[in-house]
Amino acid sequence: MSSSSSRRRTSPTAHRRAAGVALAGVAALVAAAVQSGTASAAPAPHPVKLVPAHVAVKLTPAQRAGLIRDAAGATARTAKDLGLGAQEKLVVKDVVKDADGTLHTRYERTYAGLPVLGGDLIVDTAHGKTARVLKATKAAVKVASLTPKVSKATAEQQALQRARTLGADRATVDRSSRQVIWAASGTPVLAYETVVGGFQDDGTPQQLHVVTDASTGKELYRYQGIETGVGNTQYSGQVTLTTSQSGSTYTLNDTARGGHKTYNLNHGTSGTGTLFSQSSDTWGNGTTSNPATAAADAHYGAAVTWDFYKNTFGRNGIRNDGKAAYSRVHYGNSYVNAFWDDSCFCMTYGDGSGNADPLTSLDVAGHEMSHGVTSATAGLNYSGESGGLNEATSDIFGTGVEFYANNATDKGDYLIGEKIDINGDGTPLRYMDKPSKDGASADSWSSSVGSKDVHYSSGVANHFFYLLSEGSGAKVINGVSYNSPTSDGLPVTGIGRDKALQIWYRALTTKFTSTTNYAAARTGTLAAAGELYGTTSAEYKAVQDAWAAVNVGSRSDGGGGGGGGGGSTFENSADVQIPDYGSAVTSPITVTGRSGNAPSNLQVSVDIVHSWSGDLQIDLVAPNGATARLKNSGYDPTPDVHQTWTVDASSVAANGTWKLRVQDLGPGDTGYIDDWKLTFP
């Protein structure tokens, strides 16, 4: 097929006016038709060049702070645009910017000045207009009364009793209970949030958050604010450390990475401790006889974790603000664990059984600091399925850190804590290729998985990530043998760890909210894969297949899968001629067998044959008549349209007749609708 571009350029009546480009990849479904014609602007001298839309750009701390400041200055208008109530206000938490200018702004919410737990949301803005909103709760945030019937003292006593029942030592109210709106499950209610301090039964500091209904006194939710994990206790060999020197004194202060400092608690359990300092810049001797050995491992692990996030995702520190956390080593006495504490923004390492095996290696640092990344982004609640996703995120990125380091002493693997040997039998704590090998973790999703400890419910996502990275079946990687099964007995072909990490990170930072469960994680990772690689790509299909292999949703061909989610595609391949410079034509697809509303990430794939694609204006029309503008007409002499859009169609019923509406708004060229599809992830 030939293009008439040369004729176009010699005909003064055939100039194309530039129109607002609506190819950001997300189109909001609205209740009325939008933008019936082209926008008026000066003629474009060259065809519009599209850049990869859904790649996050690297922002300097100052650029990120500026975007947050801009968003904060517009929160009142944003709240009004979103239809929030008069007593609701938004608080900006984070902003991610894509290459095409799309902004993903993450907000917390307040109601009558009270924090709304589970009220967080993400607003995607493209070309100055809201393109999509993801909410942790779909319920309207409002309560009948702001006057509690249960006293704060009663809520605190109940929280203390709960902590003691769970085996807490020296449980005390860590900070005074605060009134909140609990919106993470069901109808929002007035509640108290009480934080209980003290120590857990293994010596880990405690920050038990207990949410109590302020009207009935019923416990609504609880989670542990201290997020713990375990890792490789084998040292990383001889490594290069970035330190600071003042006169003849060296300190473990990494000014190249936000000023990360490493402190010695000297077996204490509180405070910062003492900054490691000495007259030599050689730290430790490779054994526990020198306290600086553990410090060197922790300092190295923090540096590699920083570099992993910066060089893999363009993230500038845990909070993406260029500022470092800090590390504390030699915590407690024979403490067999390590933990991240968001309140101090710090990493803490125990010395292991008999103070003989400090937990200060790469996967520990990567795992624990990734809890900080999760806290700064999605804020996944540390309980139930969202807690499993929180813990799995740390396993996934901790594994990424270990592979990224490429350290000959500690080669990358998909085993969690393989060197600690807590059980005394040489086995890892967790296996990503087959989580159930630890005797407690889930290989695949079931309706009861959310009731497991988060370290075991994480198995579903860990298994998904392994399958997405490496595929199913037997293989040997870095000398370790794996044999990963699937819940449906069908094979999965991996796409490589690098791509799997990119998909998980984009989902975490732009799709997940505090209440995301496994079904929603599937939706989020599919949206991320579609944005990064396209919805018809091998990567997108691999995400579908890997989730189906852990019993969440259907395979890319519509088979397999289970209760965690479902997927199907509807298609119309009948040709529909598009009249030149004429009225709009439509092509219908009838959707049946779906329950409830359409999803927030409905995939619309369009194939049109046309000799001048800039002529075309394309809309999706829902069964109730609502429309979503997929493409405006504008100057673009390239032929044909082969594009997939993601549409938030969650406000309309799924079943019914959907239509693709296409109109040619310029003279001189013709074409036809060749094929189009609706995919319900």
Could you read off the pLDDT of 533-550 as tens digits, one per residue? 988 899 999 999 999 999
Average pLDDT over residues 127-137: 88
Q: Does one domain contain both 619 and 573?
A: yes
Q: Looking at the annotation, which residues are catalytic? A: 368, 455
Report whether pLDDT(354) > 60: yes
Residues 277 and 421 in one domain: yes
Q: At what angle do helices 497-510 and 518-533 cross, to 10 degrees?
A: 110
Does residue 232 form part of some domain? no
Residue that is last in its domain, among 438, 462, 484: 484
Mean pLDDT to the nearest integer, 4-20: 29
Domain total in the chain: 4
- pLDDT given for residue 421 in this prediction: 62
Q: Is the pLDDT of residue 265 over 90?
A: yes
pLDDT > 50? residue 12: no
Alpha carbons 511 and 122: distance in angstroms, whole number? 8
For the chain, the first-to-last Cα distance in angstroms comes to: 35
Domain boundary among 75, 102, 135: 135
Whether residue 537 is contained in a domain is answered as no
Within-domain flag for 507: no
pLDDT band at 379 (very low <50, low <70, confident <90, very high): very high
CB 531 within 8 A of CB 503: no
pLDDT of res. 30 = 29
Q: d(Cα 475, Cα 429) in Å, to the nearest integer?
A: 20
Those residues whose C-beta lies under 8 Å from the C-beta of residue 46, and which sit 6 or more positions away, are none
Same domain, 414 and 435: yes
Q: SS3 for 641?
A: strand
| pLDDT confidence tier of residue 420, bands split at 50, 70 and 90 | low
Q: Does 444 share its domain with 469?
A: yes
**How many other β-carbons are positioned within 10 Å of the β-carbon of residue 218?**
13
User: What pLDDT, in 10s, does the model give residues 472-493?
Assistant: 999 999 999 999 999 999 999 9
Dist. CA 664–CA 474, nearest whole Å: 54
HSE-CB for 99 with a 13 A CA cutoff: 11
How many other CB atoms are there within 10 angstroms of residue 68's CB atom? 17
The mean per-residue pLDDT over the stretch 4-15 comes to 30
612 and 638 both lie in a single domain:
yes
Residue at 236 is within a domain: no
Decide if pLDDT at 121 tops 50: yes
Q: Which domain holds residue 120?
A: 61-135
Q: How confident is the model at residue 40 (pLDDT cuts 50, 70, 90)?
A: very low
Judge if 164 and 292 occupy the same domain. Answer: no
Q: What is the mean pLDDT of residues 569-582?
A: 90
Mean pLDDT of the chain, nearest integer: 86
Query: What integer pLDDT is reported at residue 146 of this predicted model?
Result: 96
Q: Which of 135, 160, 186 is the last residue of a domain?
A: 135
* 13 vs 89 pLDDT, higher one: 89
Task: Determine, yes or no, domain membership for 516.
Answer: no
| 472 within some domain | yes
Question: Which CATH number covers residue 124?
Answer: 3.10.450.490
Residue 90 included in any domain: yes
d(CA 241, CA 257): 11
Taking alpha carbons only, the member of 398, 336, 326, 342 closest to residue 365 is: 398
Residue 419 pLDDT exceeds 70: no
174 and 193 both lie in a single domain? yes
Q: What is the share, in percent, of the chain residues with pLDDT greater than 70? A: 88
Are residues 37 and 95 both part of a single domain? no
User: Is the pLDDT reported for residue 281 higher than 70?
Assistant: yes
- Count of CB atoms situated within 10 Å of the CB of 225: 18
Strands 568-572 and 671-680, sheet pairing: antiparallel
Instruction: Verify that 175 and 310 share a domain, yes or no.
Output: no
- CATH number of the structural domain spanning residue 13: 2.60.120.260
pLDDT tens digits, 578-602: 999 999 999 999 988 888 888 888 9
State mean pLDDT over 635-662: 88
Among residues 349, 406, 350, 396, the alpha carbon closest in space to that of 373 is found at: 396
Query: Which of 172-181, 517-526, 554-563 comes out lowest in average pLDDT?
Result: 554-563
Looking at the structure, tell me whether residues 166 and 185 fall in a common domain.
yes
Residues 207 and 270 in one domain: no
* Position 415 pLDDT exceeds 50: yes
**Spatial distance between the Cα atoms of 445 and 627, rounded to a whole number of angstroms:** 36
Which of the residue ranges 35-39, 514-518, 608-612 has the most confident prediction, judged by mean pLDDT?
A: 514-518
**Residue 297 · residue 304 · CB < 8 Å:** no
pLDDT at residue 8, as a whole number: 33
Phi, psi values for residue 191, rounded to 5°: -150, 170
Q: Across 202-206, 233-237, 651-655, 660-664, which has the greatest mean pLDDT?
A: 660-664
Residues 469 and 576 occupy one common structural domain: no
- Asked if the structure places residue 9 within a domain, the reply is yes
